[in-house]
């Protein structure tokens, strides 16, 4: 695309065209003005993969580990590479603008989208996000840090008023944005849905004009979150450039009217348009044509990077008696609900259709030369697992046939309007359309066959935006077409899950027939289904298990093997955009399974897949424990690489894991209560609180073990003007190559005039060392940045004079972190105030 002369184009645009440029035209595209050479740009989700333009039956994509997993790598070089590959994936999907990274803060382990952001700490999150943005930008794609700001829960996310002090806003919630923008000057930002201190962010002049534009001098494009605009003049006057998605609700005729009647001044409209046109120019070198066809990359080098990221994200939380690494030549028992399914990604807009998946069971099986035995133990699903992947089409392909009609099943001789082969039976039809389908009201018959492996009672379920009936061999097993109740599925537009059951015989082939009516045929969404297109459906099922019997089988198997691994955790039903978790626990039955298997065989390794912390009442008894997040396409291989020692684990927790939910500082204030969420813990988020109150945690921020050991020595601190340089010698004292993360914390000056967290992360560096090898690690930080707090009286950062402490931490050798820390100090001679990035 050619570079456009922005000022010339503005001078030639008619008011109507300017108005058009300030809103999307459809779910993903901006408006084009062909007569002036302004192309339409394509945006695409999201943080851990590039979905392209389709939620429904989209083109497959690379999927990286969720952001907490990437956060656990503490690896800036890796994050840069991740960003670059996502930039290339954008090119394959024809997207000029990537809707990520997500850099909100995990106030609580319960946040439905907690998995999407890197860390509870702004320096870690912002630094990784900055590198990710730089990588994306290397491909001339524009990254979009989101959601600016304080969208830290899902409950009533569009209406909730996040009430936060100026100090916490600056020190905690704006911090990752501030750092990422300083590093990358990312060309776009997405506003949050919520209010901050009384005003929705998309029309909050103080946040978007005073802070972002004026104080930080950021001059990129500010877009709304999807349907997150609530006014015409207020939003445009506050500085919101682009309303997404289209067609517009608030601009168009309403904005023309406002512009004609001095509600929006001409220069303000021009400024919004200027930002849109600048965005066009920022992506011009990408070479992506308008409305490009969507393609797949999936190259061997990409798969290698995905695997590296999956393995590097894993945190070895415990490894007593060197249970790990396992021996590839010995048999192994693989147990648990997450073993044979691939929990690769959290739910909501971050989800992508993956190129391929590797389950933990497959990952382990590919390493072991002896027997790999399996026991399910318990299930881990919240909703029954989708049936789609278990079905077969008449010609034997995995999946089922989807036939759409304009007429209901009662019309005889109705014609097929569209026919597709699908494998996913849980999907939004959001962007589904076909020229033969004449209205939002249409009907779909879905058909495949199912041949169960085991005899028994099977439970089935249907969740819809619309209506749905599930038949097995002609018998109506689930009817979700009448008396519908609204639930949390499909961004809370769907019904609750409706169940039925049937006895099936192993080896017999059954016809599965799902009869669906699109959104308007249902009544649960009260018409609001249109927000997400013509509807959504999910039909699911699995064998009912006797939990006691099934756990007993797993225990028996564990007692017969030398090597045992349990895969448990959450999945994209438990952790998703649209709602928060209700508690911090594993799915029902998992704790019981884990405790009993560990008791039967103490040398069991427990692998937890979750985006955010879970309670682990059995943690003291587990000798080996890994936190494996949602690992993307290569989840299973990444886990197996670590379990068998092909990769030495180096992940460190980017979030604290509390013992109980009640210990979390946001416990009293996490949810919207009559429209507001009070950020009552102030700056004491995550480790800042646990440190201050000396509340014990299960695993602290920054924790993570290795199969080797490291020593730290020779701390040197050089303070030169604005720069603070901290250096230490790190030595790999074990017999295996491994990576260490040097974590630099600053502790407040005792003379500081304000109550402060006992330590705050200010810099970090990862270093790879061979056995016996040592290296000098130097971390440079800005002294003002490292010592300042936000002065609410002055409205500025203040670096107070005084003597500050330096604390260098890293992998512990199994002892207490305090015994292995290096400590020193430095002085700030003069008190100074500052603003800006």
Other C-beta atoms within 10 Å of 95: how many?
A: 30
Measure Cα distances from 632 to 303, 353, 388 in Å: 11, 11, 20
Read off φ and ψ for residue 760, nearest 5 degrees: -140, 135
Q: How far is the CB of 44 from ligand BGC (least distance, A)?
A: 9
Cβ distance to ligand BGC smaller for residue 226 or 405: 226
Q: How far is the CB of 350 from ligand BGC (least distance, A)?
A: 7
Cβ distance to ligand BGC smaller for residue 146 or 652: 146
The single residue listed with the structure tokens 């929990």 is 343
List the structure tokens of 489: 């599925």
Q: How far is the CB of 66 from ligand BGC (least distance, A)?
A: 14
Cβ distance to ligand BGC smaller for residue 111 or 748: 111
Read off φ and ψ for residue 247, nearest 5 degrees: -65, 155
* Total interface residues for ligand BGC by CB under 6 A: 7
Beta bridge partners of 825: 805
Return the residue of 46, 83, 187, 738 that touches ligand BGC, per CB under 6 A: 46
Cβ distance to ligand BGC smaller for residue 25 or 719: 25
The single residue listed with the structure tokens 């066009």 is 280
Cβ distance to ligand BGC smaller for residue 249 or 784: 249
Q: How far is the CB of 577 from ligand BGC (least distance, A)?
A: 6
Best CA proximity match to 373, nearest among 343, 344, 339: 339
List the structure tokens of 300: 């061997």
What is the end-to-end Cα distance of the chain in Å, rounded? 32
In whole angstroms, how large is the CA radius of gyration of the chain? Answer: 27
Best CA proximity match to 385, nearest among 463, 492, 291: 463
Question: What DSSP string describes 357-418?
Answer: ---HHHHHHTT-SS-EEEE--S---SSPPBSGGG-B-TTS-BSEEEEEESS-TTSTTPPEEE
In the bound state, the residue with its beta carbon closest to ligand BGC is: 349
Residue ranges of E strands in 481-601? 498-504, 510-517, 536-543, 563-569
Cβ distance to ligand BGC smaller for residue 228 or 636: 228
The binding track of 141-160 with respect to ligand BGC, each residue x by CB under 6 A or -, is -----x--------------
For the chain, the maximum distance between any two Cα atoms, rounded to a whole number of angstroms, is: 87
Residues taking part in catalysis: 225
Q: How far is the CB of 349 from ligand BGC (least distance, A)?
A: 4
Read off φ and ψ for residue 629, nearest 5 degrees: 55, -155
Q: How far is the CB of 226 from ligand BGC (least distance, A)?
A: 4
- What is d(CA 538, CA 489) in angstroms, rounded to the nearest whole number? 9
Which parts of 72-111 interact with ligand BGC (CB under 6 A)? 99
Return the residue of 20, 45, 75, 294 that touches ligand BGC, per CB under 6 A: 45
Q: How far is the CB of 100 from ligand BGC (least distance, A)?
A: 8
Does position 225 interact with ligand BGC (CB under 6 A)? The reply is yes
Cβ distance to ligand BGC smaller for residue 491 or 684: 491
Q: How far is the CB of 17 from ligand BGC (least distance, A)?
A: 25
Strands 536-543 and 188-190: what pairing?
A: unpaired
Cβ distance to ligand BGC smaller for residue 193 or 574: 193
Which parts of 717-736 interact with ligand BGC (CB under 6 A)? none
Beta bridge partners of 411: none
Measure Cα distances from 34 to 12, 604, 680 in Å: 13, 64, 51
The single residue listed with the structure tokens 């009533």 is 156
Best CA proximity match to 145, nearest among 90, 95, 101: 101
Q: How far is the CB of 202 from ligand BGC (least distance, A)?
A: 12
Cβ distance to ligand BGC smaller for residue 46 or 519: 46
Return the residue of 48, 127, 232, 349 that touches ligand BGC, per CB under 6 A: 349
Binding site for ligand BGC (CB under 6 A): 45-46, 99, 146, 225-226, 349
């Amino acid at each position: 695309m050619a570079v456009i002369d922005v000022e010339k184009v503005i001078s030639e645009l008619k008011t109507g065209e300017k108005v058009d440029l300030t809103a999307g035209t459809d779910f993903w595209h901006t408006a084009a003005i062909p007569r002036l050479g302004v192309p339409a740009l394509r945006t695409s989700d999201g943080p851990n993969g590039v979905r392209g333009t389709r939620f429904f039956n989209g083109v497959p994509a690379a999927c990286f580990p969720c952001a907490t997993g990437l956060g656990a790598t503490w690896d800036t070089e890796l994050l840069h590479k991740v960003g670059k590959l996502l930039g290339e994936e954008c090119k394959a999907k024809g997207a000029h603008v990537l809707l990520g990274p997500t850099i909100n803060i995990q106030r609580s382990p319960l946040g439905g989208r907690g998995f999407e952001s890197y860390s509870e700490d702004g320096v870690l999150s912002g630094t990784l996000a900055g590198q990710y943005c730089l990588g994306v930008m290397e491909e001339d794609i524009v990254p979009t840090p989101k959601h600016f700001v304080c969208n830290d829960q899902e409950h009533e996310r569009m209406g909730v008023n996040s009430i936060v002090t100026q100090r916490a806003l600056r020190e905690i919630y704006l911090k990752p944005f501030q750092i990422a923008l300083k590093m990358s000057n990312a060309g776009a930002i997405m506003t949050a849905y919520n209010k901050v201190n009384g005003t929705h962010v998309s029309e909050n002049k103080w946040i978007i004009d005073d802070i972002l534009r004026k104080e930080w001098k950021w001059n990129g494009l500010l877009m709304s979150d999807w349907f997150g605009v609530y006014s015409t003049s207020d939003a445009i006057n506050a500085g919101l450039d682009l309303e997404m998605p289209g067609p517009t609700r608030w601009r168009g005729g309403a904005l023309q009217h406002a512009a004609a009647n001095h509600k929006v001044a001409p220069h303000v409209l021009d400024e919004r348009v200027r930002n849109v046109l600048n965005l066009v120019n920022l992506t011009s070198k990408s070479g992506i044509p308008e409305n490009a066809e969507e393609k797949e990359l999936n190259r061997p080098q990409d798969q290698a990077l995905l695997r590296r990221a999956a393995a590097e994200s894993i945190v070895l939380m415990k490894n007593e008696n060197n249970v790990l690494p396992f021996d590839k030549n010995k048999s192994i028992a693989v147990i648990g609900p997450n073993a044979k399914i691939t929990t690769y990604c959290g739910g909501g807009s971050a989800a992508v259709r993956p190129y391929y998946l590797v389950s933990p069971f497959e990952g382990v099986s590919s390493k072991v030369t002896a027997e790999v035995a399996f026991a399910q133990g318990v299930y881990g699903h919240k909703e029954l697992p989708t049936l789609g992947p278990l079905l077969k089409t008449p010609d034997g392909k995995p999946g089922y046939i989807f036939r759409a009609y304009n007429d209901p099943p009662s019309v005889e001789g109705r014609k097929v309007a569209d026919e597709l082969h699908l494998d996913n039976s849980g999907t939004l039809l959001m962007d589904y359309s076909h020229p033969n389908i004449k209205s939002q009201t249409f009907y779909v018959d879905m058909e495949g066959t199912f041949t169960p492996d085991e005899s028994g009672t099977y439970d089935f379920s249907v969740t819809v935006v619309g209506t749905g009936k599930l038949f097995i061999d002609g018998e109506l097993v689930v009817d979700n077409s009448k008396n519908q109740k609204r639930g949390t599925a499909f961004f809370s537009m769907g019904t609750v899950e409706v169940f039925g059951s049937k006895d099936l015989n192993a080896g017999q082939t059954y016809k599965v027939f799902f009869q669906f009516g699109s959104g308007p045929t249902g009544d649960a969404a009260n018409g609001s289904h249109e927000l997400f297109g013509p509807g959504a459906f999910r039909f699911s099922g699995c064998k009912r298990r006797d939990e006691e019997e099934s756990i007993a089988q797993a225990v028996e198997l564990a007692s017969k093997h030398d090597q045992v691994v349990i895969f448990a955790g959450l999945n994209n039903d438990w952790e998703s955009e649209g709602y928060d978790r209700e508690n911090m626990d594993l799915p029902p039955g998992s704790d019981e399974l884990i405790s009993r298997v560990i008791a039967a065989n103490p040398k069991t390794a427990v692998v937890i897949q979750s985006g955010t912390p879970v309670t682990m009442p059995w943690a003291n008894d587990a000798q080996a424990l890994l936190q494996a997040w949602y690992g993307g396409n290569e989840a299973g291989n990444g886990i197996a690489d670590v379990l068998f020692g092909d990769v030495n684990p180096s992940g460190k927790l980017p979030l604290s894991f509390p013992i109980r939910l009640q210990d979390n500082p946001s416990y009293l204030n996490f949810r919207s209560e009559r429209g507001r969420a009070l950020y009552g813990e102030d700056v004491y988020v995550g480790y800042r609180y646990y440190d201050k109150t000396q509340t014990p945690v299960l695993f602290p921020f920054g924790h993570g073990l290795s199969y080797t050991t490291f020593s730290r020595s020779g701390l040197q601190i050089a303070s030169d003007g604005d720069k603070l340089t901290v250096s230490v010698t790190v030595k790999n004292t074990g017999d295996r190559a491994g990576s260490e993360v040097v974590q630099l914390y600053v502790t407040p000056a005792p003379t500081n005039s304000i109550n402060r967290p006992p330590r705050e992360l200010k810099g970090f560096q990862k270093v790879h060392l061979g056995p016996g090898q040592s290296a000098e690690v130097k971390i440079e930080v800005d002294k003002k940045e490292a010592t300042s707090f936000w002065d609410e009286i002055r409205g500025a950062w203040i670096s107070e004079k005084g003597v500050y402490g330096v604390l260098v931490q890293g992998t512990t050798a199994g002892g207490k972190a305090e015994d292995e820390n290096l400590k020193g100090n430095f002085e700030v001679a003069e008190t100074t105030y500052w603003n800006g990035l």
